[in-house]
Amino acid sequence: MDTTTTLYEQLGGQQAIEQIVDEFYKRVLADDIVNKFFAHTDMEKQRRHQTAFISYALGGSNQYTGRSMEKAHAGLNLQPEHFEAIAKHLSEAMAVYGVCQENINTVLERVSTLKEAVLYK
């Protein structure tokens, strides 16, 4: 793996992240385990926030100015099964766009570090 490029660049940059996020939310909104959390969400705004967050988390130059993970998930009382469903959808969305398993695993490792910040709030 080329360590001189960021994961953001390896996945294909802004356009690729936008496509992955779109695919991710198609899967999330079709999943009765988690879609209820988005019932009253402006999904266009949500997609923009998620694209900015993922871009930032993977080393893109974008600054993420959204709410903290704790604030964004306050009052939802997310449980481990919700977190696992979201991780699965993200993994599958990346695979659809040809992200290699090594990079998918790296992204999921980074996502798993957020587990404590979002569960049981």
Q: What distance lies between CA 120 and its chain's CA centroid?
A: 19
* Domain range summary for the chain, segments of one domain joined by +: 12-118
CATH T-level fold of 12-118: Globin-like (1.10.490)
pTM equals: 0.92
Mean pLDDT of the region 101-118? 94
Torsion angle defined by CA atoms of residues 31, 32, 38 and 44, in that order, rounded to the nearest 10 degrees: 30
79/82 Cα distance (integer angstroms) = 5
For residues 96 and 102, the answer to whether their CB atoms sit within 8 Å is no
Per the structure block, which two tokens stand in for 7? 């994961």
Q: Is the pLDDT of residue 3 over 70?
A: no
115/113 Cα distance (integer angstroms) = 6
Q: Which of 7-11, 19-23, 57-61 has the highest mean pLDDT?
A: 19-23
Q: Is the pLDDT of residue 20 over 90?
A: yes
Mean pLDDT of the region 23-37? 98
